Amino acid sequence: MNIELDGFSHRMVHVGDIKIHAVIGGDGPPVVLLHGFPQTWWEWRKIMPVLARKFTVVALDLRGAGHSDCPQGGYDKATLAEDVHGTMTALGFKHYAVCGHDIGAMVALALAFTHREAVTQLAILDAPLPGWSQWEANFADPMVWHFAFQMKRDLPERLIYGREFDYVSVIFSDRIFNHGALTTDDVEIYARAFAQPGNTRGGLEWYRAFGLDHAHALGWKQAPLTIPVLALGGEHRYGSRIVSMLEEFATDVCGGSIADCGHWLPEERPVETADALLKFLAA
């Protein structure tokens, strides 16, 4: 299972007391890609070469995932956003666009609010966002059964241990429409990353920070973003609803639904996702 990508290099970037894993390639204005749960930078593999034709692409492993460090704390989205900004600054980028999916979308939104001076454009791919008026009601959706489970302290780590492949497989299959988009090897890559020491706890801590994330976002949205925002949802998940969701946070929102797609846009519909991103980032 080769997790190299032609034309891209791997870097470990020191940000404060931790190291963040970055995969970098391309040339042009910088765009940073932030993955979701239970993924790593690898979720962007199908669209990174396309974006790299016109942009410098930086795909990160968030704190608690992949090859990045897994400290005991700092899993609220504002702190994760500081990791991302610190990484981009260390790489020499003062201004950059950000695209996030799932948990990465929550981090991207936090980054846009906390570093308005740096973020030029924001793309959000299929995610409920802390601070959304329907955030608490969304917990009743059977498709997010894992939210409450993963927010439980300590127990999930014990129940998942040794069953990482089974657990990750269900997370994907519950929310996918195009079942040919992910191979067994792809799922195994994610499962092995999730099983690395510290990473299971790290990934679950993203969810345990939701209370703080929601409180932060309710405050941030009082001064809406004015940068261009792209909101994309999978037809069989959040779909076009994601546009009205983002309109609660920003004044300049475009986007809509990607057809024949579930939650995993960059892997299920990479051509359509890359095309939408290229059009948006080039505007």
| Alpha carbon distance 11, 150 (integer Å) | 30
Q: Which of 76, 102, 126, 186 is catalytic?
A: 102
- 214 noted as active-site residue: no
Position 2 scores a pLDDT of: 52
Work out the pLDDT band at 3, boundaries 50, 70, 90. confident
pTM over 0.95? The answer is: yes
| Alpha carbon distance 112, 98 (integer Å) | 8
Q: What is the SS3 assignment for 160?
A: helix
Position 129 scores a pLDDT of: 98
And the tokens for 32? 């940073």
pLDDT at 15 over 60: yes
Query: Is-contact 31 48, C-beta < 8 A?
Result: no
Candidates 40, 37, 39; CA nearest to 10 is 40
Q: What is the mean pLDDT of residues 40-68?
A: 98
| Alpha carbon distance 266, 132 (integer Å) | 23
Residue by residue, DSSP assigns 180-234 as: TSS-HHHHHHHHHHHHSTTHHHHHHHHHHTHHHHHHHHHHHTTS-B-S-EEEEEE
Work out the pLDDT band at 283, boundaries 50, 70, 90. confident
Q: What is the mean pLDDT of residues 198-214?
A: 98
Query: Is-contact 164 34, C-beta < 8 A?
Result: no
And the tokens for 142? 């059977």
Question: What is the distance between the terminal CA atoms of the chain, rounded to a whole angstrom?
Answer: 37
- List pLDDT tens digits, range 142-191: 999 999 999 999 999 999 999 999 999 999 999 999 999 999 999 999 99
Work out the pLDDT band at 1, boundaries 50, 70, 90. very low
- List pLDDT tens digits, range 72-128: 999 999 999 999 999 999 999 999 999 999 999 999 999 999 999 999 999 999 999
Question: Tokens 């299929």 sit at which residue?
Answer: 126
Q: Which of 207, 213, 216, 236 is catalytic?
A: 207
- List pLDDT tens digits, range 65-88: 999 999 999 999 999 999 999 999
Position 55 scores a pLDDT of: 98
Domain ranges of the chain: 8-282
What CATH code would you report for 8-282? 3.40.50.1820
Give φ, ψ of 165 to 5 degrees.
Answer: -65, -45
- 102 noted as active-site residue: yes
What one-letter code names the amino acid at 189? I
Q: How far is CA 135 from CA 112, 211, 235, 253, 265, in A?
A: 19, 11, 20, 19, 21
Query: Is-contact 130 216, C-beta < 8 A?
Result: yes
| Alpha carbon distance 85, 257 (integer Å) | 29
Position 103 scores a pLDDT of: 98
Percent of the chain topping pLDDT 70: 99
